[in-house]
Structure 1
């Protein structure tokens, strides 16, 4: 367990779900808690809603792989039984009563609205990357100016070709930005009609073209999968697609609790 500060035992919140699938006769939640052994996952109920929680010996957890995976695995198990509303990582209440009063009761209408919003839908994630060799080969083949500068620089020292190298770098950067916009837009335009909601996130690496999440209805899942496979086939190795899901709707719902709000 990797923590930054300790406290008297509080209550760590993973997500919100419908109460019915977690009634007294239901199977327990088996995913390991963020607090580690000795802190099982359980539910706090208010009317027909539950918060999925575990007792927590820490006031705050480091955002490391072990902790974030523990948080996510609980949510993913809950998703197998009910639509789910992820709660922001590191949300810790002082008590079960505080969860009932300040979260489930206070936000009752909002939480029901969000549960209806995600009902029958799941998040599908798509990250797209360029094949580096193909990218630079395509850039050179498409631009006579870039080819000319490349040939001018070839075999000469950096001192002799300082300004040409700067110019070449600027041209390549501008071309990459343009191509990223074109490729990303083309992919999103194909997939957006099959999604209920789409979110394009920030690019994480130089070779990343697209970092997107799609909220897709269950009855559209196969069609969406087929379209992603079709996109992959048509690229013939020019783009590398990394497709994951179904996932909880992390990009479309993130319940944030401010305990000091009146």
Structure 2
């Protein structure tokens, strides 16, 4: 929802929806240059975290996305928050109040659903040399092709290299699917929901967001550590969180 304004005017960038008793910390900084001051616009049981931005100012710089995520991830530690799509700008306080009024009950129900729940994202990347070694050890055909191209120029072994690349790519995809399934299975006892994500690299081993109850965070983290330890020679794993529930609010269609 972006309202067009004449050049030189400002609007309000909306970060997320929170309960009405949430107060932004004095040092919270928003998007833009210089960073905008974070304020809360309240209506009923809800509040929207916002900051003023110039409508001519470009959005989407890395610093802007970092400011957006830092505010929301810091907020979710103390209160439920519904992230609003990055880049959502409206004309002013009245437009924010209208948004909160129009969707008050739906937003309030969503906040209740996310009370005491945070997102963690588990991302893993294969160690390329180890992975290819495993693939060749398991597939005699791929191993034979690898022998055929070894020591030969790319030009004279082009056909074999293409076939080998296709075989390795298919094997990586199957292994990725298996790793994602096993990760979800291992962590299901400690989570409320999961949301598989698209791989960000051809060497991605897993990329899954999990919604975790705050009472289960310690057990969840231990389970991730155990899973990572079992694969430490093959996969470099990272655990990101606690985060705002970015991958779980889309069902509520906060702002289109």
| Fold shared by both chains (TM-score > 0.5) | yes
- Structure 1 residue 145 and structure 2 residue 141: aligned? yes
Say if 1:40 and 1:54, in contact at 8 Å, map to a contact too: yes
Name 1:176's counterpart in structure 2.
172
Name 1:217's counterpart in structure 2.
213
Name 1:106's counterpart in structure 2.
102
Name 1:87's counterpart in structure 2.
84
Say if 1:11 and 1:92, in contact at 8 Å, map to a contact too: yes
Say if 1:79 and 1:248, in contact at 8 Å, map to a contact too: yes
Cα distance, 1:136 vs structure 2? 0.8
Give 1:242's match in structure 2, choosing from 233, 238, 244.
238
- Structure 1 residue 45 and structure 2 residue 42: aligned? yes
Question: Which structure features the higher share of strand residues?
Answer: 1
- In 2 relative to 1, CA 7–211 (structure 1 residues): closer, same or farther, beyond 3 Å? farther
- Structure 1 residue 30 and structure 2 residue 31: aligned? no
Stretches of structure 1 lacking an aligned partner (at least 5 in a row): none
Could you list the per-position Cα deviations for residues 124-173 of structure 1 after superposition, in whole angstroms to 9, with x for gaps in the alignment?
01111101111011111111112222222223344443332232222222
Could you list the per-position Cα deviations for residues 58-95 of structure 1 after superposition, in whole angstroms to 9, with x for gaps in the alignment?
25643220111111222233324311111111111112
TM-score, normalised relative to structure 1: 0.87
- In 2 relative to 1, CA 211–69 (structure 1 residues): closer, same or farther, beyond 3 Å? same
- Pairs aligned (count): 249
CA separation in 2, counterparts of 1:112 and 1:199? 23
Could you list the per-position Cα deviations for residues 2-49 of structure 1 after superposition, in whole angstroms to 9, with x for gaps in the alignment?
xxx954121211111111233xxxx74421121344742111111121
Name 2:119's counterpart in structure 1.
123
Of residues 153-162 and 133-142 in structure 1, the stretch that sits farther from structure 2 once superposed is 153-162
TM-score, normalised relative to structure 2: 0.89
- In 2 relative to 1, CA 79–158 (structure 1 residues): closer, same or farther, beyond 3 Å? closer
Give 1:70's match in structure 2, choosing from 67, 71, 78.
67
Secondary structure of the residue aligned to 1:252 is coil
- In 2 relative to 1, CA 59–212 (structure 1 residues): closer, same or farther, beyond 3 Å? farther
